[in-house]
Structure 1
Amino acid sequence: MIIGRNDKCWCGSEEKYKKCHMKFDDKLKEFKNKGYVVPHKSIIKNVEQIGKIKESAKINNAILDLVGEKIKAGMTTDEINTIVHDYTVSNGAIPAPLNFHGFPKSCCTSVNNQICHGIPDDYVLQDGDIINVDVSTIYNGYFSDASRMYMIGEVSKEARRLVEVTRECMIKGIEAVKPWTRLGNISHAVQTHAESNGYSVVREFGGHGIGCEFHEDPFVFHYGGKEEGMLMVPGMVFTIEPMINEGHYELFIDEDNGWTSYTDDGKLSAQWENMILVTEDGYEILAY
């Protein structure tokens, strides 16, 4: 379908095409003709959509702040789930993980050697534990997603270093976000920092597009070479969420619940996740 200069833009902004995405499309076509993998227009968010995603992210951020205030030794991971669930619904939102492909809880709580998708239960947090709490929120039909690491009481220097370096890996990845460059720059930045510190990057899981759906394109690898992968363009929203292992990157998934992944060698794992908007001149962190 050919859009005229004075027709409404395909993005749904109600603006005339010539004032909205016409120059964007011309530039995208140039890159595509050069052999770049370019994003489908369905994952490019307009101003209205970005505003609604930010509203969802505001609730998501507040939930993680609240968890940070409440979390302590002696608390069960199911109590964390209750905090997340109650705050979410009391603010008119929906916990995105709940019943997602059968997931039974409102957030993920991954402790020590659990890599991701830990299911809250009666596990009692102990002094020295490290835990990732992964929160995803639907508000007025729009999705947000972020996770943070929490250190319970006095943790070992090895655990603290893993948590800190993992956050640095995420930051390095975020700093590589730049419009009209490739996603592989994120992958390379994360992997380089992790491995230079003696850690490994989990291969099986990665970041993902988000906003209008829980999981959209693109898949965001946290390992790989520079100048590879899809082109990043303004209006894309995706997560950067490296999972960094103290030992090697091999894992296994709990056969009983079908969700929780563990390090194969039993060593610690950590994860941080932010949700990023690609802007005209860089990036904006929406959920953290």
Structure 2
Amino acid sequence: MIELKSPEEIKQMRPAGKFVGDILSQLRETTKVGTNLLEIDEYVHKRIADRQGAESCYVDYAPDFGTGPFRHWICVSVNDAVLHGVPYDYNLKDGDLVSLDLAVSVDGWVGDSAISFVVGKADPEDERIIKTTQEALKAGISQAYSGNRIGDISAAVGAVAHENGYTVNMEFGGHGVGHLMHGDPFVVNDGRAHHGYKLRPGLVIAIEPWFMRGTDEIFQDPKDGWTLRSADGSRGAHTEHTIAITDGDPIILTRRDGFDPALPDNLQK
């Protein structure tokens, strides 16, 4: 069921979005060559434990697309891992492409966001796919206005992928956000403009473009039962924001400090 939030409820969602945005901003600054993935997980654990009213959306999460409950505080996907990456004992190496995906509930409301970046010296093709996810998110947000349709967002995201030579996996994408991390509507990363659910003030969704350099096929890593990897071993990237539809410009609930290449110019701070 699709739920519409009141202006007061959207206001109540802001602390969760800010908390998630702040954590990802800090991790972007501190994650370097040599950082261990378990250190990232423990940092998020401590931040959540220290924040009154905060709860992890991941720990003990057990949907049908995973194998058993998830046991960590953040998803960390490296190189050919593109979604749902399980943190493990691994020190990041020069040139690794890292995607961090974080969802936290604060006082009962969820914020969900993701970033991708390279530690150390970046391969230009890694930089290009990261930039493409950012541009795709920007394009999707540019369509996130009352009166448009979900298909307008999906078509805008997909168009950026195709323009840059990438194919699009349709199994996982954006979604409604509220008291739960994953709700209706599903926001696929490609689609037909002018089709689908009509956007209305009060709709809160996560838009999350994710693409892979050489394929749109994925498989679930049998070692942990969660991590989704590209079928051909190529690298992927993932960028996400939680936004609220209003009578005017969308509200970026998971806004991060400074200039954000995933936001339209009119929504920069």
TM-score in terms of structure 1 length: 0.84
Task: Give 1:247 shift.
Answer: 1.1
2:59 equivalent among 72, 89, 98: 98
Task: Tell me the residue number matched to 2:29.
Answer: 69
Whether the 8 Å contact between 1:250 and 1:263 is mirrored in structure 2 is yes
Alpha-carbon distance, 1:268 to partner:
1.0
> Which has the larger Rg?
1
**Secondary structure of 1:202's partner?**
coil
- The reply to whether residue 262 of structure 1 matches residue 232 of structure 2 is no
For structure 2, the residue ranges without an aligned partner over 5 or more in a row are 63-68, 256-269
CA-CA distance at 1:48 after TM superposition: 2.3
Query: Which residue is equivalent to 1:239?
Result: 206
**Equivalent residue for 1:123?**
90
Which one of the candidate residues 190, 196, 202 is aligned to 1:229? 196
Q: Which residue of 2 aligns with 1:195?
A: 162
Using the TM superposition, give the Cα deviation of residue 82 of structure 1 relative to its aligned residue in structure 2, in angstroms.
Answer: 0.9
Output the amino acid matched with 1:97: Y
Matched, 1:151 2:111: no
Query: C-alpha distance in 2, partners of 1:224/1:51?
Result: 30
Alpha-carbon deviation of 1:79? 0.7
Structure 1 or 2: more helix by fraction: 1
Q: Is the Cα–Cα contact under 8 Å of residues 252 and 263 in structure 1 kept in the other structure?
A: yes
Q: What amino acid does structure 2 have at the position aligned with 1:264?
A: A
Q: Matched residues in 2 for 1:200 and 1:249: separation? A: 6
Deviations 1:14-39 (A, max 9, x none): xxxxxxxxxxxxxxxxxxxxxxxxxx
Equivalent residue, structure 2, for 1:179? 146
User: Contact 1:63/1:88 (CA < 8 Å) preserved in 2?
Assistant: no
Distance 1:224 1:56 in 2: 29
Q: Does 1:79 align with 2:46?
A: no
Q: Within 1, Cα distance between the matches of 2:219 and 2:8?
A: 41
- Once the two structures are TM-superposed, the CA of residue 49 in structure 1 deviates from its matched residue by 1.4
Displacement after TM superposition at 1:248 (Å): 1.6
Distance in 1, matches of 2:152 and 2:188, equals: 10
Where 1:200 maps in the other structure, the secondary structure is coil
Cα distance in 2 for partners of 1:150, 1:272 equals 10
Deviation at 1:216, TM superposition (A): 1.2
Output the CA distance in 2 between the equivalents of 1:214 and 1:222.
18
Task: State the percentage of identical aligned residues.
Answer: 34
Q: Which amino acid aligns with 1:113?
A: D
Q: Partner of 2:145: helix, strand, or coil?
A: coil
Given residue 100 of structure 1, which amino acid in structure 2 is its aligned partner?
Y
Q: Does residue 218 of structure 1 match 2:218?
A: no
| Stretch moving more, 260-269 or 48-57 | 48-57
User: Larger RCO: Structure 1 or Structure 2 (Cα < 8 Å, ≥ 6 residues apart)?
Assistant: 2
Q: Which amino acid aligns with 1:285?
A: I
Q: 2:108 aligns with which of 141, 145, 157?
A: 141
Distance 1:150 1:246 in 2: 15
Alpha-carbon shift at residue 282 of structure 1 (Å): 3.1
Corresponding residue pairs, total? 248
Q: Secondary structure in 1 aligned to 2:211?
A: strand
RMSD: 1.1
Shift of 1:70: 1.3
Of 43, 55, 61, 2:15 maps to 55
Residue 165 of structure 1: how far off its partner (Å): 1.3
